[in-house]
Amino acid sequence: MTVTVASLWRHPIKAHGREGVTRLDLKAGQTVPWDRVWAIAHEASKADGATWVPCANFSRGAKAPALMAVTCTLDEDTATVTLCHPDRPDLTVAPDDAEDAARLIDWVRPLMPEGRAASARVVRAQERGMTDSDFPSVALCNLASHRAVEQQLGKPLSIHRWRGNIWLDGLAPWEEFDLVGQDIRIGDAVLRVRERTGRCKATTANPETGVIDADTLGALKTWGHTDFAIYAEVIADGEVATGDAMARA
């Protein structure tokens, strides 16, 4: 069966919204354009965006599940982001602007649980997007594996629990794990699959409501792991669009 790109996603502000796109212009050694360009460091973090640091330095869905319900729209020309959440008024900000960054921190404050390090400042990644891997990664997800988790839990789930960049259709459940260590071509780009993606409690929250409502990690453990999706590194530039084919390079 032909494997194709079902959808493409980016997350301009790490853990604070998702946006669907129809094409991506991938560059070797880089993350998805505009993906995790900004992140919100919490009060216990010293992150300044100069270098990559682990996700524990930032406000994120694993500690603040309400963040999972944020959606966004990015205006690339003005580097502004419009954020939406079912419990907050829409907000448009330029995260690089100090006053707007302060407005963003105020906007997100009611979504943060008590007893957690509070969101403190917006940082911009200077080297590459602040993905969760210690290398510039693109997250590839398999729709068949998602459906397997739905079946295990006995209810439909949003794909946005997994916060992927490229969703593939046509693979067998968990077949994506067999791609680790291999080079693949998607559209015009070539990627090297580096590792499986370990999962955290963020996936237990409903991306429509921000409320924890599914034991996704328990479901994954029935297959003997808590992994979902794979991380790949772009090794040859190219455009990827919805409907493009994936094949081993």
From the centroid of its chain, how far is CA 139?
7
Per residue of the chain (249 residues), what is the pLDDT tens digit? Answer: 799 999 999 999 999 999 999 999 999 999 999 999 999 999 999 999 999 999 999 999 999 999 999 999 999 999 999 999 999 999 999 999 999 999 999 999 999 998 888 999 999 999 999 999 999 999 999 999 999 999 999 999 999 999 999 999 999 999 999 999 999 999 999 999 999 999 999 999 999 999 999 999 999 999 999 999 999 999 999 999 999 999 998
Q: What is the per-residue pLDDT for 115?
A: 83
Strand partners for 13: 38
Take residue 156 and report the two structure tokens written for it. 């439909």
Q: What is the per-residue pLDDT for 116?
A: 82
Confirm or reject CATH 2.40.30.10 for domain 3-30+133-248, answering yes or no. no
Q: From the CB of residue 155, how many other CB atoms can be counted at a distance below 10 Å?
A: 9
Q: Are 18 and 71 in contact (CB under 8 A)?
A: yes
| Positive or negative torsion for Cα 166, 9, 111, 45 | positive
Global model pTM greater than 0.85: yes
* Region(s) of the chain under CATH 2.40.33.20: 3-30+133-248
